[in-house]
Amino acid sequence: MQYAFVRKKTSYQKGTDVWKEFDEIIDFDFGFGCFEPESDHEVDLCIKEAADKGIKGLSIAAPLQYRAFQSTDLLSEEAMKTGLADTVRIENGVSVGYNTEYFGFLKALSRTGLDLTGKKVLVTGYSCSLNTVVAALKDLNVSETVIASIDKKRYSAKFPDCTVIHEEEPVKGKDFALFVNCGPVGMFPDTGSVPAAYDLSADSIDCVIDLVYHPWDTALVKKARKKGKNVQNGMWTAVYQTLKAFEIWTGTRQTEELAEELFYRMKKKAGDCIVLIGMPGSGKSTVGRTLAKTLDMEFVDTDEYIESFYGQIADLFDIGEEFFRQIETRTLKQLSYGNSMVISTGGGIVTREENIPLLKNAGKVFFLDRSPELIIQNEELKNRPLLAGEDRYEKLMRLYRQRIDLYRKAADYIINNDRGIFQTVQAIKEHLQER
């Protein structure tokens, strides 16, 4: 046993499953053991025992991170900032405490593309993660961190540099670049709950990060996505946190490619999306809505999603097709982070090579192959920017010839959609049952 978890016996322990998957990817053979102290005081004994046994590293679960901070011989800079130690490195009998969630959160936040300098952020929760997020935001030079808490008096004293409000208190006159849920609201089995502070401030929030990832898409993430928000669950933070701990223990820094592999492997374990590709007018939206209803899944049409956030697609095409394709790729990347959705994509999504791995990462890809003779009968085609005007059939055939091989290459399954909706839905369900 070279490494060990330190955690309480009760409750779901996030992070353990990520370590197991990481171990499989790099084939390191961590040989993880486990300490389960019955009280905070016993954390001191666990660290001492680990040193005596020659254990090289400890992963400390909440809420024991406060005690680990007090129990180690030395502390890193970010541990000092947060008052927490979630990772311990032991060398020559000397224990050093680190806060890897600090690094994980900052790396995950960078994926959103947000520049928070001079911006306002709304944070809620009461877990160890709240300390970490507040400290990280301070280092990012936000103009104001507002904490929505059930205990306003206590948190006002604990975080004097922040604005603290009651979690059910409406926030007036503030536009927030980011909302972060640091607490367990929405975590299994309480999967239907959304932090009250979000509901009271949703219209003034641009981006949402929920540090919960069990379930993968919490009620908060689903609700924010439907409003066109940039959303992220807690898995990116957990992934980068894991890689940082490995670096601390072994001195080996991992690549961004490995981080993405770990993230998407965890996502597939939580549940894939179903992605529909095909020509304009091939029935993707109609089939997708019916399929989502029969499987009790969320339905997302990428074109509708884009329009809800950026405006009419025809207007975006007026600026330029490449401009629209860039937005489409950003949207697909965002949706690829989610799970248990049926995603109907735009007809031209396969024309950008960088979209193909995003489609694959999102889930199982189904090409709805419908004959041009049937597609042309769809009256809605006259509203499509690339098919508007005269000679629609010639334009359609030109697109079909340009894209047919791209659809086939991107697809996991090819479904003939010259039949009725329910036959197509049944064919997709039969392929899903093959897994």
Token pair 């003034």 in the structure block, residue: 204
Q: Which residue ranges of the chain lie beneath pLDDT 70?
A: 10-15, 379-390, 435
The chain-wide mean pLDDT, for the chain, equals 92
Instruction: Give 11-60 pLDDT, tens digit per residue.
Output: 455 568 899 999 999 988 888 889 999 888 899 999 999 999 999 999 99
Token pair for 302: 């990428």
Tell me which architecture the domain covering 272-433 has in CATH.
3-Layer(aba) Sandwich (3.40)
Percent share of the chain, pLDDT over 90? 75
Percent share of the chain, pLDDT over 70? 96
pLDDT at 153: 93
Q: What is the DSSP string of 404-415?
A: HHHHHHH-SEEE
What 3-state class would DSSP assign to 308? Answer: helix
Q: Which CATH superfamily is domain 3-98+241-257 in?
A: Leucine Dehydrogenase, chain A, domain 1 (3.40.50.10860)
pLDDT at 58: 96
pLDDT at 29: 80
What 3-state class would DSSP assign to 22? Answer: helix
**Range(s) within the chain of domains with CATH label 3.40.50.10860:** 3-98+241-257
Count of C-beta atoms within a 10 Å radius of residue 71: 22
pLDDT at 391: 77
Task: Let me know: does 335 contact 341? Beta carbons within 8 Å.
Answer: yes
Q: Are strands 298-301 and 341-344 parallel, antiparallel or unpaired?
A: parallel
**Range(s) within the chain of domains with CATH label 3.40.50.720:** 103-233
pLDDT at 91: 95
Listed residue (11, 215, 248) closest to 127, CA to CA: 11
pLDDT at 264: 95
Tell me which architecture the domain covering 103-233 has in CATH.
3-Layer(aba) Sandwich (3.40)
Instruction: Give 70-93 pLDDT, tens digit per residue.
Output: 999 999 999 999 999 999 999 999
pLDDT at 390: 67
Token pair for 425: 């839905």
pLDDT at 296: 92
